[in-house]
Amino acid sequence: MFWYTGAKEHLFEDGYCQMNTAAYSCSAPERVVLHCDMNNYFASVESVYNPGLKGVPLAVCGDPASRHGIVLAKNNIAKRYGVVTGESMFTAKAKCPSLVTVTADYSRYLKYARFARKIYSRYSDIVTPYGLDEAWLELDSAASDINCGITVADEIRTCIKKELGLTASIGVSYNYIFSKLGSDIKKPDAVTVISKDNYKHMVWNRPAFELLFVGSVTRKKLYKMGILSIGDLARSDPMKLSRELGKRGYMLWEYANGDDRNFCPTITNDDEIKSIGNSITTPVDITNSDDIAALLYIICSGISKRLAKHSFKSRCVGINVKNCEFYSYSRRTSFTAPINTPDELFEVAYKLFQASYDWTKPVRMIGVFAERLCDYGNEQLCFYPNTPVINPRIKDLVRSLPERLGKIKLEDSATHKEAIPDIQYII
């Protein structure tokens, strides 16, 4: 079966995070943690370069050469028209005919992210970026309390405005989870404090899906259990949550109670990331190419999101395959034009599989990795006429995969930790 024919659609998802096992020591109980989130980041940076864009409905789009170019970010005016991230430019313009679209320029976003990180580093040695527009800062607990945190947050907000011409929302709390939540509560250009004294009042009435790592699948499961708010989650029986949701259930119960001891923020320095990979060990052995195609598409969509999160593209893609007798091998291929979309990654990965697997034995595990990573900004933005178009039937296969194979766990190839396998995000 040849998979790269037919309609093509890019798939992006905001706010994806890959948890990493990088050692993170959680320490003193009186920590002060800030989470800074620059508002409407891509659109705001574009408005710094072209102030005329400030007063118009604006969308930053990828790949305008394609009819399927999608909205990567928008400003508040476009938001009011109902323009949402991830929809096609075509749909966005139907909602808002006066919408101004600009092509994403990742070198700019990377540059401003680095400027912002320099500002953060004036206040803390423990800065953990989360994508380009967000970062956690942990203040020195010996020298700070929550009031000091508020002062620092106000100073950072002022610096970001004066020096970068951008605005940021900042959450100040005693843990990573609530500080992240705090930065979402008031926008733009605001500080929200969630302390040990006010967290029940501030956080527990909020919907459970606002909590970090509650995706659409988990949200539905929680809903079925009658858990609607973060407070419901915090007051639930953690053992019951574990039974229903696995390890994640217990973790979310901890988060809802402000306990981040088991939270591992993403590794601090994008420059240290050499490879991004995911794999799936299937619940049953795979005996046909359709299921392999669907699995590869899920894996490649996950890798694509992780690449986007760090503003990377890849010049080398490889696969790992293990058969049911535990024989395993890798294949990789390099190319000059870097790639990062699910379709592009899938095309390479599936070709590698087809060229290397003889089907004398069923497949037990399959993985994909992206190497030779480069910043978006370090390559010329150009549009290649031979962008792959993937058979739309792949989406049906992905959708129906759990029926055929059962529950699928996407694993981070580097750490062997369970990644965030929200299949519903992918399709």
Catalytically active residues, by annotation: 134
Q: How far is the CB of 44 from Mg ion (least distance, A)?
A: 9
Smallest gap from Cβ 37 to Mg ion, in A, equals: 4
How near is the Cβ of 100 to Mg ion at its closest, in Å?
20
Q: Which of 366, 391, 368 is nearest to 307 (CA)?
A: 368
Nearer to Mg ion, 15 or 238 (CB): 15
* Span near Mg ion by CB under 5 A; candidates 35-43, 82-90, 95-103, 221-229: 35-43
**DSSP secondary structure, 316-380, as one string:** EEEEEEEETTS-EEEEEEEEEEEE-SHHHHHHHHHHHHHHH---SS-EEEEEEEEEEEEEGGGS-
Per-residue x/- track, 41-80, Mg ion (CB under 5 A): x---------------------------------------
Q: Considering beta carbons, is residue 133 or 270 the nearer one to Mg ion? A: 133
Residues 111-170 that bind Mg ion (CB under 5 A): 133
DSSP-derived pairing of the beta strands 71-74 and 363-375 = unpaired
Instruction: Select the residue whose beta carbon is closest to Mg ion and give its number.
Output: 133
What token pair was written down for 183? 């930065």
> By three-state DSSP, how is residue 81 classified?
coil
Question: By CB under 5 A, is residue 37 in contact with Mg ion?
Answer: yes
Closer to Mg ion by Cβ: residue 185 or 324: 185
Shortest Cβ 398–Mg ion spacing (Å): 29
Provide the mask over 395-414, with x wherever binding to Mg ion is found by CB under 5 A and - wherever it is not: --------------------
Residue with tokens 């009186």: 30
List the interface residues with Mg ion, window 159-218 (CB under 5 A).
none
Burial bucket for residue 375 (CB in 10 Å: 0-12, 13-18, 19+): middle
Nearer to Mg ion, 41 or 136 (CB): 41
State how far the alpha carbon of 86 is from the alpha carbons of 11, 62, 73, 210, in Å: 7, 10, 8, 19
Q: Which of 6, 3, 10 is nearest to 66 (CA)?
A: 10
Whole-angstrom Cα Rg for the chain? 22
Would you say 8 or 157 has its CB closer to Mg ion?
157
Is 129 exposed, middle or buried, given 0-12, 13-18 or 19+ CB atoms closer than 10 A? buried
Amino acid at 101: T
Which residue stretch of 37-45, 135-143, 260-268, 329-337 sits at the interface with Mg ion (rule: CB under 5 A)?
37-45
Which residue, 171 or 249, is less far from Mg ion as judged by CB? Answer: 171
* Helix extents (H) in 160-288: 176-185, 199-203, 216-224, 230-235, 238-245, 247-256
**Least distance in angstroms from the C-beta of 9 to Mg ion:** 25
The residue count for binding Mg ion (CB under 5 A) is 3
DSSP letter assigned to residue 164: I
Tokens 């930053």 belong to 60
Range in contact with Mg ion (rule: CB under 5 A) among 30-38, 44-52, 199-207, 222-230: 30-38
Looking only at the bridges linking them, the beta strands covering 168-173 and 190-194 are parallel
The verdict on 347 binding Mg ion (CB under 5 A) reads no
CB of 234 to Mg ion, least distance (A): 26
CB 212 within 8 Å of CB 177: yes
3-state DSSP call for residue 134? strand
Short-list 354, 336, 335, CA closest to 296: 354
Rounded to the nearest 10 degrees, the angle between the axes of helix 342-356 and helix 289-309 is: 140
Q: Least distance (Å) from Mg ion to the CB of residue 87?
A: 18
Q: Closest CB to Mg ion among 40 and 314?
A: 40
CB of 183 vs Mg ion, minimal distance in Å: 8
First to last CA, the chain: 20
Nearer of residues 116 and 292 to Mg ion, judged by Cβ: 116
Binding site for Mg ion (CB under 5 A): 37, 41, 133
